[in-house]
């Protein structure tokens, strides 16, 4: 196409983005300008398509979209990493939500399968490449569903999102392949064509222990034993080595390290919980069948303020059904499919310790 005239609309004297390839670290210092670069513009387009694909996946299967509260008096994970809100307006202590799950269970046990997709917050003083203080979560809740069914749903959702982003944003995905991850297309093919692996927590721990024996000095956490939570290096070994890069569900976790709402297994020591592990990142999603027995749930909540969670236990007390759900970290999913290594580069305005610009 040929042009006969060019007009200057807006001058940019001293523009801080020179005609060269800037480091992503430098671009993070310019959150208001970095989306003008090829990389962050491609991320924005891929993220947009991924977001629409999430809604398309659940909406196309009859799930209701539910908007759960950002201000809450409940700590879903029970880890004490809640941002408190300094106000007397509500007559009780409130904070920013760490998960929409508990509220989504209200909808799931009332109107059927639903999902919530929105921002969540963790007051965690962590500066790793996979943590943010504010991030988005995809959280479906499915009645008449066990943990295996929830894993099926999670696998289907990931496959759907990856396929849609490649279909709609092929140019951007080829850009990421050229400059950030040469193996992106092979990863896409593997995700779409292979069935995700499933291994029990016990099997996973035994596999890590056998590998550690070969050379404990290579491991930061070599003393893994049954009952411990998996560290990132353990998760990556499972996904990258044990499963040869295929996303892997690790299921049936020790009851002692999982939240109160997860369904107790008949063995009395594990819960029907699962994590989805992927290469480079580690944990991409986590879920479980929810404890639907009233008396068992009450016993699991020992030491908690039962009055504060009376509304939640009422969901069992006044009639319930077996139900399951999971949460997918949306930024981690976008990073996984684009090859962007740092979660701060897939969120336009990342909130991390020491930085909340704009």
Give the mean pLDDT of 74-78. 70
Tens of pLDDT, residue by residue over 123-155, are 989 888 889 999 999 999 999 999 999 999 999
**pLDDT confidence of residue 81:** 85
Radius of gyration for the chain, computed over Cα atoms and rounded to the nearest angstrom: 22
The first and second tokens of residue 307, run together, are 């009055």
Residue 79 pLDDT > 60, yes or no? no
Closest CA to 290 of 145, 79, 127, 119: 145
Among 34-48, 70-84, 127-141, which is the least confidently predicted range?
70-84
Torsion of CA 127, 129, 133, 139, to 10 degrees: -150
Tens of pLDDT, residue by residue over 269-289, are 999 999 999 999 999 999 999
The first and second tokens of residue 282, run together, are 């580690």
Tens of pLDDT, residue by residue over 227-263, are 999 999 999 999 999 999 999 999 999 999 999 999 9
- Phi, psi values for residue 175, rounded to 5°: -65, -45
**pLDDT confidence of residue 167:** 98
Residues pairing with 64 in the sheet: 114
**pLDDT confidence of residue 355:** 86
- Centroid of chain to Cα 119: 11
**pLDDT confidence of residue 209:** 98
Residue 59 pLDDT > 90, yes or no? yes
**pLDDT confidence of residue 18:** 87
Give the rounded percent of residues in the chain with a pLDDT score beyond 90. 86
Residue 77 pLDDT > 70, yes or no? no
Q: Please give the mean pLDDT across all residues of the chain.
A: 95
**pLDDT confidence of residue 189:** 96
**CA atoms of 54 and 161, how far apart (whole Å):** 6
Buried b (16+ CB within 10 A) or exposed e, 331-357: bbbbbbbbbbbebbbbbeebbbeeeee
Burial class (CB in 10 A: 0-12, 13-18, 19+), 17: middle
Provide the whole-model pTM.
0.94
**CA atoms of 94 and 73, how far apart (whole Å):** 5
pLDDT category at 87 given cuts 50, 70, 90 is confident
**CA atoms of 319 and 306, how far apart (whole Å):** 18
Give the mean pLDDT of 198-204. 98
Give the mean pLDDT of 189-216. 97
């Amino acid at each position: 196409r040929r042009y006969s005239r060019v007009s200057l609309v807006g001058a940019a004297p001293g523009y801080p983005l020179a005609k060269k390839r800037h480091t992503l670290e430098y671009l993070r210092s310019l959150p208001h300008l970095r989306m003008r670069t090829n990389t962050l513009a491609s991320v924005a387009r891929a993220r947009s398509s991924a977001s629409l694909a999430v809604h398309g996946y659940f909406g196309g299967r009859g799930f209701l979209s539910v908007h759960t509260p950002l201000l809450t008096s409940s700590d879903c994970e029970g880890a004490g990493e809640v941002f408190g809100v300094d106000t007397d307006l509500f007559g009780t202590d409130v904070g920013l939500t760490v998960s929409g799950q508990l509220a989504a269970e209200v909808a799931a046990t009332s109107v059927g399968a639903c999902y919530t997709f929105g921002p969540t917050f963790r007051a965690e003083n962590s500066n790793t490449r996979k943590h943010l203080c504010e991030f988005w979560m995809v959280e479906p809740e499915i009645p008449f569903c066990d943990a295996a069914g929830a894993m099926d749903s999670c696998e289907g959702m990931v496959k759907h999102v990856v396929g849609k982003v490649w279909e709609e944003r092929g140019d951007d995905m080829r850009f990421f392949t050229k400059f950030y991850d040469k193996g992106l297309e092979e990863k896409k093919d593997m995700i779409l064509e292979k069935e995700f692996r499933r291994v029990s927590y016990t099997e996973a721990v035994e596999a890590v222990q056998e590998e550690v024996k070969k050379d404990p000095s290579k491991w930061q956490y070599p003393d893994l034993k049954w009952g411990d939570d998996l560290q990132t290096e353990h998760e990556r070994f499972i996904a990258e080595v044990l499963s040869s890069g295929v996303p892997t569900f690790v299921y049936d976790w020790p009851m002692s390290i999982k939240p109160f709402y997860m369904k107790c297994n008949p063995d009395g020591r594990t819960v029907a919980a699962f994590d989805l592990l992927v290469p480079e990142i580690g944990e991409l999603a986590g879920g479980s069948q929810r404890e639907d027995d009233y008396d068992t749930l009450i016993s699991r909540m020992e030491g908690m303020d039962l009055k504060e969670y009376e509304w939640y236990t009422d969901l069992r007390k006044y009639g319930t059904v077996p139900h399951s759900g999971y949460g997918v970290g949306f930024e981690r999913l976008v990073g996984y499919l684009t090859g962007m290594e740092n979660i701060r580069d897939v969120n336009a305005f990342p909130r991390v310790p020491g930085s909340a610009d704009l």
